[in-house]
C-alpha cells in the first residue's frame, strides 16, 4: 500500500516514510526522520530531525515529537502531546547570546512497544515510557514509566496496572497476580514491576 501525504504537509525529501503511512494536512516531518509502515501523522503534528518511529504508530493532531525521540511499534501519541528534548532549556547562553545547535545536547523521550500517551500530556526528556504503559491525559512525565503502568498527574505517578488492551487490570486469584478483564491475560507483579505470564489465572 502506497504512502499518502496531504498536499499541505511538509515532508523533507531526506525523510524515510514507510508503506501505508498517512501524513495529514499541515503536518511537518523533518530531514532524517524515519517512519515505519502503516503510521498516521495527524493534522499539524511535528516530527523532528532524525526521530525514529516504528510500524503502526499513531500521532494525533498537533502532537510535537522533538528529536531524538524514539517510538517503537504500535505507540499512540494523543492530540497536543509534547515530547521535550532539552533538560535545561535556555534561549541564550550565560553571556546573553542566542544559543545555537552547538550550545546544547538534545535528549530523548523513548516510547517502548505499544505505549500510549494521552492528550495534552508532556513527557520531559530524558525519560522512557515502558512497554504497553498508559499515560493519562494531561499528565507531566518526569520519570521513567514501568511496563504496563498507568500513570497520571503532575508529576505523573503510577495509579494502576494495565494490559495490552489498555484497560486496568484486576487482582487475580493468587497473590501478586493481575488479570486483564478483556483478554484474560495474566500478569505477575514482582518487586514493583509487572510481567506477562504464560499461565492463566
Q: How many residues does the chain have?
A: 201
Give catalytic residue positions.
62
Q: What is the largest CA-CA distance in the chain?
A: 63
Q: What is the DSSP string of 109-159?
A: EEE-TT-EE-TT-EE-SSEEEPTT-EEPTT-EE-S-B-TTEEEETTTTEEE
Nearest to 82 by CA among 68, 66, 70, 71: 66
Which residues, 6+ apart, have CB-to-CB distance to 181 below 8 Å? 167, 169, 170
Residue in the structure block whose three cell numbers are 496496572: 161
Radius of gyration of the chain (CA): 18
CA dist 71 and 88 (Å) reads 23
CA dist 167 and 183 (Å) reads 10
Q: In this structure, is the dihedral angle defined by the CA atoms of residues 127, 132, 137 and 139, taken in order, positive or negative? A: negative
Amino acid at each position: 500500500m502506497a504512502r499518502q501525504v496531504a498536499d499541505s504537509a511538509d515532508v523533507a525529501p531526506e525523510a524515510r516514510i514507510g508503506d501505508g503511512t498517512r501524513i495529514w494536512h499541515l503536518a511537518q516531518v523533518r530531514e532524517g526522520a524515519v517512519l515505519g509502515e502503516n503510521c498516521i501523522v495527524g493534522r499539524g503534528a511535528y516530527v523532528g530531525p532524525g526521530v525514529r518511529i516504528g510500524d503502526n504508530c499513531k500521532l494525533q493532531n498537533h502532537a510535537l515529537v522533538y528529536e531524538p525521540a524514539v517510538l517503537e511499534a504500535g505507540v499512540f501519541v494523543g492530540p497536543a502531546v509534547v515530547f521535550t528534548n532539552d533538560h535545561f532549556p535556555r534561549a541564550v547562553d550565560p553571556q546573553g547570546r542566542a544559543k545555537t545547535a552547538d550550545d546544547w545536547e538534545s535528549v530523548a523521550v523513548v516510547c517502548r512497544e505499544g505505549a500510549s500517551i494521552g492528550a495534552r500530556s508532556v513527557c520531559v526528556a530524558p525519560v522512557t515510557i515502558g512497554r504497553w504503559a498508559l499515560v493519562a491525559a494531561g499528565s507531566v512525565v518526569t520519570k521513567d514509566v514501568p511496563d504496563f503502568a498507568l500513570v497520571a498527574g503532575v508529576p505523573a505517578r503510577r495509579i494502576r496496572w494495565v494490559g495490552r488492551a489498555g484497560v486496568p487490570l484486576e487482582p487475580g486469584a493468587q497473590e501478586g497476580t493481575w488479570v486483564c478483564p478483556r483478554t484474560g491475560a495474566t500478569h505477575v507483579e514482582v518487586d514493583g514491576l509487572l510481567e506477562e505470564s504464560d499461565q492463566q489465572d
